[in-house]
Each structure stands twice: as C-alpha cells, then as structure tokens.
Amino acid sequence: MNAIVFLYKRFLKIDVSGLNIRNARRKKRIPVVFSHKEATQVIYHLPKPYQLMANLMYGSGLRLNECLRLRVKDIDFEMNMITIIDGKGIKDRRTLLPESLLDDLHNQIQYVKSLHNFDIENGYNDVYLPNALSRKYPKAASQLTWKYVFPSKNYSEDPHSNKIRRHHIMDTTVQKQIKKAIIASGIHKHCGSHTFRHSFATRLLEMNYDIRTIQELLGHSDVSTTEIYTHVVKKGGSGVKSPVDV
C-alpha cells in the first residue's frame, strides 16, 4: 500500500490523500483442534525426538518454529518455565514447562551436550547467533548454553557467513513426520503441527483457566485472538445441549 501511494504521489503526481484507504480484513477462521485422545495418538506414532517436540507444542502452546529455535538456556528446570525469545511479533514470553516432560528434556539436553563435545573435536562447535548477539557476546556461539535443544544430525553451511555449523532440525522435516503420524492415527481433519497449539489453548479453556492467563501463555497481543478458542471448546463453550440428546 505504501509503495502504491508513493508511486502516485512521486511519479504520477496524483494526489491520493483524500481517498479513504483501509486495509482488507482477514477472515477469522475457527481453528481445528485435536481431542486429547487424538493428540496423544499422534504423539504416540511419532519417533524421537519429534515426539518430544509435539509434546512441547501440545503441553506448552509453542509454535513449531518457537520449539525448533529453543536453546538450552531457555529451559528453566527449577522454575518449570520455558522462555520464548523473539516469538511471533518479535516478542519474548514465558510459558509453562510440563512436569511430565522433565526427564525427556534432561535426556535431550544430555544428547545435545554429547553432540557439542563431538563438534568441538571436529572443529565445528559454533552455533548461529543473530548479528547483534554475536557482536556483543563473541564467545557465546561456542558455548553449550546457546546450542539448540533440537539440533540437526548433519552440518550445514550458513548462507550468510558461509560457516559450517550444526543448525536446528528443519520445520519441513517435523511437518512431514507429524503428517505421517496423523495418517497413522486415522484422523480425518485438516490438521498439522499448529493444531497442537490450538489444542493446548482449548484444553486450558475446558479446564476453566482464566482467558487472560491463556492469552499470556500463548503470547497473543489482543485477547480477542484468544477468545476464538471459546468457539471450539466442547459443547460450544456455552454448555448447550442438542435437542436430540435430551
């Protein structure tokens, strides 16, 4: 829109300041969610470490990329919290760490530690850091605390610096695994990795948690975004019973 207004003003010399220009509104769709049984079935059919990723998306409300970009330092075992850095809208937030996943996460971080030692021996111990962080903390890239919780099995070339590094698992790889697990579970819904996050919000509403709390855990800037989940809560969120069930 800015580019079009600039074209008319600067190049075509046509004044458009009197036009009432408004952005088109995106249609809000009711999210598809898993029942608890369906979510656990899909997770059951996933191999490691994808099973742990799905558990975090379902148990903590993480987006797929938020899960993949988790660093070792972002997991707080003492406070049972996960810190999401630069989530959607470039916002930081904290969400809960499910107690049932503590052992699996400890084991995953031990795996990351062994990979870290292996990378040091092979001379590829650096991990990607944003430019500002890499300048501020030049030694951080080689420290365990900054390593990804879900690292790739293979090295890859950083297109910006041309350095050979171990990045996190790619999102397309996780999405393919989840699609396979959904098919194996016999679920006939238009769903994917993000459905776990929708299901997290829906379960909390069903458990009668305050919608403002759910908003904070999800990182929504507007509570109206969170309120859409009231439309998919069991019994429509209003306790209405069908006449045929009376």
As annotated, the active-site residues are: 63, 88, 194, 197, 220, 229
- Provide the 3-class DSSP secondary structure of residue 124: coil
**Nearest-angstrom CA–CA distance, 81 and 15:** 53
In order, the DSSP letters of 171-207 are: HHHHHHHHHHHHHHTT--SS--THHHHHHHHHHHHHT
Backbone angles phi, psi at 85, to 5 degrees: -100, 130
The secondary structure of residue 30, as a DSSP letter, is P
Of residues 34, 58, 53, 74, the one with CA closest to residue 186: 34
Backbone angles phi, psi at 100, to 5 degrees: -70, -15
CB atoms within 10 A of CB 137: 12
CB atoms within 10 A of CB 212: 10
Q: And the tokens for 209? A: 């948690």
- Provide the 3-class DSSP secondary structure of residue 137: coil
Listing from the earlier edge strand, what are the strands of the sheet with 81-87? 75-76, 81-87, 91-96
**Single-letter residue type at 186:** G
- Provide the 3-class DSSP secondary structure of residue 46: coil
